Amino acid sequence: MSIQKIKSSLRTVPDFPKEGILFWDVTTLFKDAECLRELEDILYNIYKDKGITKVVGLESRGFVMGPALAIRLGAGFVMARKPGKLPAEVISESYEKEYGRDTIEIHKDAISEDDVVLIHDDLLATGGTVAAAARLVSQFHPKAVCINFIIEIEDLKGRALLPADAEVTSVLKV
């Protein structure tokens, strides 16, 4: 399978979740075993030699490939969730996104200074969610941070909000 096959397997949904937004739907990749396996292989090959010790998945589509990649890398998995979803003490970060304001949280004991962290999400659009996640992760002072997306919408320039010292990769750029 090729990157082009993965790209052609994506679905776009106009006016979701509100009018004027073109939503890039990765569920079409997740339901196809061949696409799912190919994505896992691509992600693993990018990060297998980076010393990743924790993968942070962003709610909710970062919870699909994030744990699979963490298992394959021999790393732990950390959930970055919406408020009120994590049962223990958390740290929080609020941010603006293209259709409103939101907050994400991580357990206060989820990451240590010895960790090399990979933040993973399905999509980079305007960058608000992942920039908030990067600010949260930075509070733990890990050794290094990498950031990954399945899809990056280049015209929205979300990459500009990401930390300059983080290695940022995207499987597909549209």
Catalytic residue check, 98: yes
Asked if residue 41 belongs to a domain, the reply is no
Number of domains making up the chain: 1
pTM exceeds 0.85 for this model: yes
81: in domain: yes
Per-residue pLDDT of the chain (174 residues; tens, 9 = 90+): 578 888 888 999 999 988 988 899 999 999 999 999 999 999 999 999 999 999 999 999 999 999 999 999 999 999 999 999 999 999 999 997 766 789 999 999 999 999 999 999 999 998 999 999 999 999 999 999 999 999 999 999 999 999 999 999 999 999
Q: Is 87 within a domain?
A: yes
Kindly report the CATH number assigned to the domain that includes residue 130.
Answer: 3.40.50.2020
Instruction: Provide the CA 31 distance to its chain's centre, in angstroms.
Output: 18
- End-to-end, the C-alpha distance of the chain in Å comes to 19
Q: What is the 3-state secondary structure (H, E, C) of the chain?
A: CCHHHHHHCCEEEECCCCCCCEEEECHHHHCCHHHHHHHHHHHHHHHCCCCCCEEEEECCCHHHHHHHHHHHHCCEEEEEECCCCCCCCEEEEEEEECCEEEEEEEECCCCCCCCEEEEEEEEECCCHHHHHHHHHHHCCCCCEEEEEEEEECHHHCHHHHCCCCCEEEEEEEC
**Domain range for 120:** 51-173
Does the residue 22 lie in any domain?
no
Residue 12 lies in a domain: no
On whether residue 137 sits in a domain, the answer given is yes
| Residue 112 forms part of a structural domain | yes
Residue 160 lies in a domain: yes
From 40, 59, 98, 167, the catalytic residue: 98
